[in-house]
Every structure is written in structure tokens, then in C-alpha cells.
Structure 1
Amino acid sequence: MGLLHNVKWVSLSQIIKIISQLLGLVVFSRYLSPSEFGIMSMTLIVVNFINILRDMGSSAAIIQKELLSDSLKCSVFYLNLSLGLFLFVISYFSSTAVSVFFNEPAVSNTIKMISIAIPINSMTAIHLALLERESKFNKTAIIEISASIISLAIGIICAIKGAGVYSLVVQTLLYSFISSCGFWMVSGWVPRAKFSLSDIKSIFKFSSSLVGFNFINYFSRNSDQIIIGRSFSASILGQYSLAYRVMLFPIQNITFVLTRSLYPILSRIQKNYIESVSIYLKTLKTIAIIIPPLMLGIAVVSRELVVVVFGPQWVHISSILIWLAPIAIMQSMVSTTGSVFMAQGKTGILLKISIYNAILQISSFIIGGFYSIDILIKLYLVANVLMFFPNMMLAMKVLNGSVFALVATIIKPIIAALLMSLVVIYFRSSVAYLELKPIALLTFSVLVGVVTYSFMMLVIERKYIAGFFKNR
């Protein structure tokens, strides 16, 4: 099964998840208070951190490994189950201390309940890995879609009945239980009573480096919130957080689809460098066609977009979005390099480059915290530029590809996106005297941008577009 098959089913699953999240956000916001949402957020900070250790990177190792014995699968299963139970105990008995830290007693109970999902997810992590290894994303998509819809429906019923924050807890637990049962049944694999320490040692180097990467990545990704909250006001943190979520949306919901689909494919052909480079460049081409025009478009219309979508009280985040747009473009491409390093078994390189990335990112936040949010974001942009080139060059080197091929792949869509931005800016300045309402200016700007970008792509990428439709 090819990349397109994987992308199709992962996209479908992700779209349903997004719809469920948005619908849930609308409904839950009417029945739950802001403090109850805050309690759940505090709970998930702890649980998401614990989940880094849930399978010690063994699932990724199962997908990457060329030859897979039943003994290794059984050994990984019992390792994951033991880790899940151990982390459940740690999470359960540390819940009181966490609630004291946050000064929120209710967090203790929510952590204890949510922790039940840890061993459930751990014991079926290998079943999901086996399905993804064989690129059976059609089956995983059906399971994830069913779990999303059922858990959301029951969670909403609980919220209507007055369950409060526990309606979110029920939704989370149900999703884990339903999806885990589905993965277990569909994978067709049943563990046997065998465990080999030598099998675990065979994946230890790969897995340990991956866990180290996840630790570093978790802290570097969350350090901005901590430093901004510490250095500036809650209002500034709130504005930055919303702008950052807008920036993350295409990375989480577009790039995620491609990278999740890419990893098992590259793992299966890890010795075929020519095909690996070809597939990887096609993935980057897709990202270059979608993300740059989207993010540059958001930057150009940021003021009207914020006013129309979020309300005038958030108008100040429009200036933040302008600087975050190029960061999103670079991160959307850099985020694919992890699949390359893991597929080639180079988690040591992944760990080292993540340390380099973390130093740059955290340093930009710390230094910017002494000045202003504007300087902090500009330094964050500089950090991402310094991260982009080494990460992309290393990924191409691992695949025996050339940097020239990388540049040739992404340059034309980026040029088209930049030209589109200039045309939209010119259009907006030309109609400024009309003093259009924000929604009208936003609508016309988007239409001009879509038409311009489509025309640019037809002119400079006509061979690629013709080949795309020819192969459908």
C-alpha cells in the first residue's frame, strides 16, 4: 500500500477528529465553566507528559524494524504493559501532590480517573504499531472515527446531565477503551507467554534515543508558555497562546497526516534510497503547495481574520500571527525529518539535532522574556531559521539525497505563495478608500489570493499538476 492510500485514510480520520473536537468545544463550552476546562487542561499536562514514557519508543521500533519475530512482539507487549501499570501507579499516587502544586483540589480526582487510560493504551500500543507497519490505515481510521463519535456523544450526554469536568474525563476514557479494543481485535495478533530480554536489547538503542528526543521536544515545545506566563501578563500569554494555536493548526492537522503516513512507507523501503528520496520529496512538495500560501495568506489578512473569527478583543494577536507565519512554514517541513531519521534507524541523530533545536528555541524565549513579546517572537523566528537548514540538510544526507533536489522541490510553490501575498497586499491597498467592513475585506482578499495562487501554480508548476491529474 502506497503513500496516497495512507494519506487518504489518515486524512479521513483526522478530519472526523477535528470535527468532533470543534463540535465538542462548542457544546461543552455551554455546559462547563472556564474553571472546569482549566482543571482538565491541568490534568492533561501531567498525563501527556507521562505518555512520553508509555511505550519507551517501542511502537516506533516495531514499525521501523525490517524483520519482526513473534518473540520480539511478545516481549514488547509485556514491556509496555508493565510500564503502563507502573506509570498508572505513579500518576495515581502523585495526583494529590499535583493538585497542591496547581492549588486546585479537583485535579487530584481527574488525574486518578484519567490515569486508567495509561495501561489501556500501553497494552494495545503494539497492536496499533502492527497495523501501521502494514499501512492498514483504512482499519485504524474506521476504529478512530468510531471511537471519536461514540466517546463524544456519551461525553456530551454526561455534560447535559450535569457531570461537569467529568464529562471530559468520560470522553477521554471511552476513546481510549473503544479504540484499544478495536486495535486489538482488528490486528489479529494475540500475545503469547514469552519474554526475551535480548529482544528488548535489540531495540533499546533506537527506543532510548527516541524517548530522549520526546522528552527534549516536550519541554522545548512547552517552555514558551512557561516563560511568557512568568515574564509577562496573563493577557499577553492568552494572546500568544491563541495565535500559536492558529499557527499549529496546519502543522498538526495537515503535516501530521503526511508524516504519520510517511513513516511506515519509508521504514519498509529503508534500504532503497532512490525510492525513499523520491517519496520524501513528494511529501515536501505537497507541504510546500499547501502550507506557505495558507500561512502567508493568514499573515496578510490577520487583522480581519482575528476580528471576524475571534472578535475585536483579540485584535492584538494579528501582529503576532505575522511573525508566526514563516515559523509555521519552516516547522511544517522540519517536522517531517523525524520520520526520515526513525525510518533509517538514526534516532541518535534525531536526539542530537533535537538538543540543538531545543537550545535555540529555549534561548530565544529566555532572552526575549527580558524584553517584550514582540522581541521574543522575532528571536523565535531567528531560532527557527537556524534550525531549518541543518535539520533539512541532515534528513537529505541520511537518505543520500541532494540539497539541490530539496530546494528545487519546494522553491516554486514558495515563490508562488510570496507573489500571491504581494498581489493581495496590493489589492487591499487599492480598495482601502472604500473602507470595507472586516468580513467583506476578508472575503475579497481570500478570493483574490486563491485565484492568484491557482494561476501562479498553473504557470510555474504546470508539469507537476498535469502529472498529478494524469496519475489519478
Structure 2
Amino acid sequence: MASGARWMSVNQVVVQVTRLLVQVVLAHLLEPRAFGLMTMALVIVMFLEILRGFGTGMAVVQRDKISERLLSSVFFLNIGLGLVISGLLALLAPGLASLYGDSALTPVLQVLGLGLLLASLGDLQQWLLRREMKFGAVAAANIIGTAANAACSIVLALLGYQVWSLVIGYLVGFGVTTLVAWLQSPWRPRASFSPAEVRSVLRFSANLSGFSVFNFFLLHGDKVIVGHFLGAQQLGYYGLAQRVLMYPVSTVSTAFQEVMFAGLSRLQNDHSAIRRVYFRSCAVAALVCFPVMAGLTVVARDVVLVVLGARWERLVPLIWLLAPIGGIQSVSFSVGVLYNVKGRTDLLLRWGIFSGLLMLGSYFAGLPWGINGVAAAYAIVIVLLLPPGFAIPFSLVDAKPRELVTAVWPHVVATAGTVAVMAAVQWLTHGFRLARPVCLLASVLAGAATYVVITWRQRPPALADLLQCVRRASAGSGQPASASSRRDGALGPTAHG
């Protein structure tokens, strides 16, 4: 699991930094409307992605034993679902575009539907690599696919293709990721399909997919509402703010979630082991994400004006509202692992129905105040859902909320000190009317130094865990695919879905 965390951390850092840099470059090359159209389309595509995958890959990882017949059956089920859903999207695209009130969305959706089919071709291979704990291979597929997406999008944007630079880059990234996954995985499907084998995983996967549908509304319903009622340009601001703010959170939480699920599924009856790994992972997430999100809140205006330019100034209040929530979610996102490891996707579904409907109502409540009102409603409901959102999955592994507080408290203290110093530097540098880039640099350096000093003096356990991962990553950096390159043909020991 430590080795897996190392590789997925490398994967997430490279992937998210690449995406962040590409977003910054594209923000200078594309109009906000292009981002808005792509955000509209991706909301629909991500919803269909839930139905396409149907949770079968995670069910394969969670099961103690798997057979060749089960794997082939799941593979062909995935292909069939991919074909049906991509075809339906092509047919329904005009109607879906009319819901947003923008006909330009129709061809974008029809082309993006091909990405669902490409994902189906390599989905099971990636989950088998996870089951086998071959996270070096998973990282290789993701990094190479992201690089292909980035290169294609930037080249097409330079040529003036606007939204199509994003669309084609998306497809190229999916295709390359699938190709690399096939090259890394030794498993190949056989001409076999068993309805009985498929039914054997449906209880787990159906509940998981049901939860994912409601969780989709929790995470993406705001984009549908903003796009429909406020238009593509406002959604461009809103969607870019969310994507940029979620990069640091996704970098850490996704890495640990994937590894925890694969590893703890093998230890699902050992509650003490589950708690130990889970809370240590939460502490590392807090160590990394709390200062980043809090610091970004302090320097939001400088970051937007210096990095993106004046035409994106509307992002500033969105960052003030959403960055603190991103810090909270760096810890709260991982609770789904506890449901999945214990096989209690039925409870996960019930929680998803409740929280999803509540969140959906909050978006409409905030709509009269524009994108800032929607963001504020999102933040308020996320905070209100925290107590039950932790208590229910904690009960499955005999965990107590105070264990979480104890794990993250040192990082809350260090973050508070960092925010105080950064705010003071902002006040001084702007008071002396220094150039905005100088103000930003001084604030970031002062905040980083403060956080390092406070954390080093406290020496929390998460610091040792993080340093250990860094040392292992340095020691193993010359062998990026060693675990995945052993083609022994074994099924046995094989995303944020």
C-alpha cells in the first residue's frame, strides 16, 4: 500500500499540475464561452460515465476471488454499455443542448460520446491493475494520456479551434490512456459471457452506481443549473474556478482513495487496520491541502490577476467561497472508501439520495444571487452535511470522530498560523503599493516558510508518512513501471469511479 501510495501520488501530482498549467495556458488562448460549452458537455458525459461503468470494476477489486469467466463477462458488459450509451448520446444531443438553451452544444456532445466507448475498451484493464496493486502501471497510463490531451488541446487552441481544442484533446487523452492500459495489463478477454457471473456482482455495483448518480447531483448539479439559467459565459467562470480549486484536493485524495480501496479490500474484516490506515491518510491529506486551500483564499485576487488576467477577475469571490470547502473536502471525500471496503454500498446509496437531493435544492436557493449565490449555497450545505457524513461510515469500522480530529488538528494549527502571516504580508506589501506579482510572491514565500516551521516543530505523524513516501519515490524513480512490467499472467492480487 505504501508503494501504491507513492506511485499514485506521483501520478496525481504530475497529472494535476499538468492540467493546471494547461488550464492557465488555455485561459489565455480561449474565450470563457469555450470553457462554458465544455463544462456543460462534461457534466452530461460524466453522468453517463456513471451508467457506463456501472461499478463493475470496483466490484472486481472488492471481491476476494475472481474467475476468468467473470472477467470476460464484465469486459463484454462494459463494451456493450459503452456502445449503447455513446449511441444514445448522439441521438439525444439536440434535446440535451436545448435544456441548456445553446444549440452549439449538440455537435460537442455527439463527438464527446466517443470518449465513453474508448473508456469502455480499457476500463477493466485499469481496474485489474489496481487489484494487483500495480499502481506504477496505472500512473503510467494516466500520465501519458494526460500529456497527450494537453499537447493536442494546446496545439489546436493555437490554431484557433476554440472549444474543439478541448473536445479533441479529451478524446485523444482517453484513447492514449486505454492503449497504455492494454499494453501494461497481461490479461486479455476470452470469448465468454455468463449472465450468472454478471448477476453475482450486481448487488455491489448497482448500489454503488445508484449512489454515484445522486452524488453526481451533489457535485455537478450546480453546473447544470448555472449553465441553463445563467448561460455559458457565467458557467465558464464558475467551472474554471471549481476545476482549478479541485486540482490540489484531487491530487491527494484520489491517490489515497484508490490505494486504500485496493489494499483495505484485502483486509476488510480488520477494523483496527482500516482505522489506522484511514486516519493516517486523512492526516497526510490535511497536511498538504489545508495550507494550499487556505493560502489561496488569502491571495485570491493576486493569483487571478497575475496568472489569468483581468478578464477572469470574476473568479475572485468564487475562490473566497470555494477554497475553504476544498480544504474540508480533501478529508471528507475519502469516507466512501469505508462503505466500499465493507461492501455496504446499500448504505452509501441511501446517504447519496439524501445528500444529493438536499444539495440540488440548495443550488436553486442560491440562484437568485448568481454564481456567487450558488457557490455560497454549495459551501453551506457541505458544512451542514459533515457530521452525519462522517458518523455513518465511521460506525462501520468502529471509528470515533475524535480520532479524525486528533489526526488533523496539528495541520489546523499550522494552517491558522500560515493564514495570519500571509494576511499580514498582503496588507504590508499592498500598503507600500508594490507590484502585484511581488505581493503575490512575498505572500506565498512567507506562508510556505511559516507552515514548514510550525509543522517541523510539531513533528506530526503525517509528516513522517509524507517524508517516507518522498524518500521511497526518490529511491524508486529509476524504475517507474517495475511492478507492472512483470508479465506473469496472474489474475490474482488486481477509479474514483
TM-score, scaled relative to structure 1? 0.87
Q: CA deviation at 1:345?
A: 0.9
Q: Distance in 2 between matches of 1:77 and 1:170?
A: 26
- Aligned with residue 76 of structure 1, among 74, 81, 85: 74
Q: Distance in 2 between matches of 1:100 and 1:432?
A: 47
8 A Cα contact 2:293 2:324, kept in partner:
yes
User: Deviation string for 1:250-272 (max 9, x for gaps)?
Assistant: 22233222222222112122122
Report what 2:262 is aligned to: 264
Amino acid across the alignment from 1:453: Y
8 A Cα contact 1:62 1:68, kept in partner:
yes
> What are the equivalent positions in structure 2 for 1:51-200 lying under 5 Å apart?
51-99=49-97, 107-150=105-148, 152-153=150-151, 168-200=166-198
Number of aligned residue pairs: 470
Q: Distance in 2 between matches of 1:183 and 1:83?
A: 19
Secondary structure, aligned partner of 1:422: helix
> What are the equivalent positions in structure 2 for 1:380-399 lying under 5 Å apart?
380-399=378-397
Q: Distance in 2 between matches of 1:291 and 1:194?
A: 46
- Aligned with residue 446 of structure 1, among 444, 464, 476: 444
8 A Cα contact 1:287 1:333, kept in partner:
yes
Q: Distance in 2 between matches of 1:31 and 1:466?
A: 42
Q: Distance in 1 between matches of 2:24 and 2:372?
A: 31
8 A Cα contact 1:231 1:370, kept in partner:
no
Q: CA deviation at 1:208?
A: 0.9
> What are the equivalent positions in structure 2 for 1:60-459 lying under 5 Å apart?
60-99=58-97, 107-150=105-148, 152-153=150-151, 168-228=166-226, 238-370=236-368, 376-429=374-427, 433-459=431-457
| Greater RCO, CA 8 A, separation 6+ | 2
8 A Cα contact 2:33 2:236, kept in partner:
no
Q: Distance in 2 between matches of 1:170 and 1:328?
A: 29
1:416 to 1:165, Cα distance in 2 relative to 1, 3 A: closer
Name whichever of 432-441 and 214-223 sits farther off.
432-441
User: Deviation string for 1:45-72 (max 9, x for gaps)?
Assistant: 4332221111211011111111112222
1:374 to 1:347, Cα distance in 2 relative to 1, 3 A: same
8 A Cα contact 1:72 1:196, kept in partner:
yes
Q: Distance in 2 between matches of 1:168 and 1:367?
A: 32
- Aligned with residue 10 of structure 2, among 9, 12, 17: 12
Q: CA deviation at 1:187?
A: 1.7
Q: CA deviation at 1:426?
A: 3.7
Q: Distance in 2 between matches of 1:409 and 1:315?
A: 37
Q: CA deviation at 1:417?
A: 0.7
Amino acid across the alignment from 1:219: F
Report what 2:474 is aligned to: none
Q: Distance in 2 between matches of 1:45 and 1:337?
A: 23
Secondary structure, aligned partner of 2:53: coil
1:32 to 1:378, Cα distance in 2 relative to 1, 3 A: closer
8 A Cα contact 2:222 2:374, kept in partner:
no
Q: CA deviation at 1:246?
A: 3.5
User: Deviation string for 1:139-173 (max 9, x for gaps)?
Assistant: 12223333333455456566667777555444333
1:358 to 1:417, Cα distance in 2 relative to 1, 3 A: same
Name whichever of 86-95 and 224-233 sits farther off.
224-233
Secondary structure, aligned partner of 1:401: coil
8 A Cα contact 2:126 2:138, kept in partner:
yes
Q: Distance in 1 between matches of 2:415 and 2:152?
A: 43
8 A Cα contact 1:291 1:329, kept in partner:
yes
Q: Percent identity?
A: 28
1:112 to 1:298, Cα distance in 2 relative to 1, 3 A: closer
Q: CA deviation at 1:435?
A: 2.9
1:36 to 1:197, Cα distance in 2 relative to 1, 3 A: same
Q: CA deviation at 1:20?
A: 4.6
Q: Distance in 1 between matches of 2:296 and 2:415?
A: 12
User: Deviation string for 1:396-448 (max 9, x for gaps)?
Assistant: 22222222221110111112211221233344445564233322222222222
Secondary structure, aligned partner of 1:190: coil
Amino acid across the alignment from 1:447: L
User: Deviation string for 1:118-147 (max 9, x for gaps)?
Assistant: 233213211111111111111122233333
TM-score, scaled relative to structure 2? 0.83
8 A Cα contact 1:330 1:388, kept in partner:
no
8 A Cα contact 2:40 2:224, kept in partner:
no
Unaligned runs of 5+ in 1: none
Amino acid across the alignment from 2:289: I
> CA RMSD of the aligned region, Å?
3.1
1:396 to 1:153, Cα distance in 2 relative to 1, 3 A: same
Name whichever of 163-172 and 173-182 sits farther off.
163-172
8 A Cα contact 2:15 2:143, kept in partner:
yes
Name whichever of 47-56 and 171-180 sits farther off.
171-180
Name whichever of 164-173 and 42-51 sits farther off.
164-173
1:444 to 1:186, Cα distance in 2 relative to 1, 3 A: closer
Q: Distance in 2 between matches of 1:164 and 1:376?
A: 27
1:320 to 1:5, Cα distance in 2 relative to 1, 3 A: same
